[in-house]
Amino acid sequence: MFSSLPRQRTRRRRLATATAAGLVVIAGGMWLLLGTGPEPGNHAPAAICALDSTILRADVDADGQLDEIHDQDRDGTSSVVFRRDDHRTTVSVGDARGFWQKLRGVPEEDMETRGTFGDFDGDGYLDLALFYSQRDEGDAPRDNMVVHEVHYGPLARDLSSDRTGTIRMKHSTFVYGVRATDTNHDGRAELQVFQSGGDGAVSRYIGRQDGGGVSVSREETDFYGVSDWPDLKLGWLDFGACADR
């Protein structure tokens, strides 16, 4: 009886090893399968302009046709309406998170995506600044930010990019909203981040292109109440109004 115990342990170890190896193979296969998505076009950058403070117009996927980015509440819950002839396809910023990023957020509650579009590196193509973070628990901030990155344009129709960069943040608390501005009109967008400061306060930080990503200021620029910050006029109109708006 006792002599069979080592054999049982050996079988269990082999089974565990085989199971782990199988999971790695499956995950690797899924990664390869899911990692091959749509590709952007190769058209030259088109002019970026705002129809109003909630709608931006640009050729997001460089296919030669102008698309529209909508952010009705101006909080970063935005979506892109891609155009191809008479067809329209809408993709939200929540769809821009990669496969593994979506898996990492599954066990947590109150995780939310925010994203805004602007030309952060000044190459003429529209980029996406993307965040995925966890809401406060009452007045207590949670330090749980799974995604803080830039997808540099041109973007594919799933808002992915073969060139991404980190958004360097001092804090990893909940991001209430994000906006892109160009207050000095130098052709490089600034990233406005509205982040939980705890106790019902929202702090505003400013990020700018820095090397291969965006660095956000370590000190807050201003702070607001949770219901106050959306009233700020900062936003896409800095990029210039469309002639036919």
Q: Nearest 5 degrees, angle CA 199-CA 201-CA 203?
A: 135
* 123 and 170 both lie in a single domain: yes
Q: How far apart are CA 233 and CA 141, in angstroms?
A: 26
Read off the pTM.
0.83
19 and 112 belong to one structural domain = no
| 73 shares a domain with 113 | yes
Flag whether 245 is in a domain. no
CB neighbour class for 7 (10 Å; exposed up to 12, middle 13-18, buried from 19): exposed
**Helix, coil or strand: residue 70:** strand
Q: Please indicate, yes or no, whether residues 226 and 146 belong to a single structural domain of this protein.
A: yes
- Provide the domain count of the chain: 2
What one-character DSSP code corresponds to residue 122?
A: S
Three-state DSSP class for 175?
A: strand
Q: What are phi and psi of 199, to 5 degrees?
A: 55, 35
Residue range 158-210, pLDDT digits in tens: 999 999 999 999 999 999 999 999 999 999 999 999 999 988 899 999 999 99
Q: How far apart, in Å, are the Cα atoms of 197 and each of 77, 108, 224?
A: 20, 21, 9
Instruction: Tell me the residue range of the domain where 161 lies.
Output: 49-239
Q: What is the pLDDT of residues 89-102, one digit of tens each?
A: 999 999 998 766 55
Percent of the chain with pLDDT over 90: 71
Q: pLDDT band at residue 25, thresholds of 50, 70 and 90?
A: very low
In a domain, 23, yes or no: yes
Average pLDDT, the chain: 86
Q: What are the φ and ψ backbone dihedral angles of 19, each rounded to 5 degrees?
A: -65, -45
Q: What pLDDT digit, counting tens, does each position of 102-153 carry?
A: 565 555 678 999 999 999 999 999 999 999 999 998 888 999 999 999 999 9
| Count of CB atoms situated within 10 Å of the CB of 136 | 18
The two three-digit tokens of residue 71, written as one number: 């952010």
Amino acid making up residue 237: L
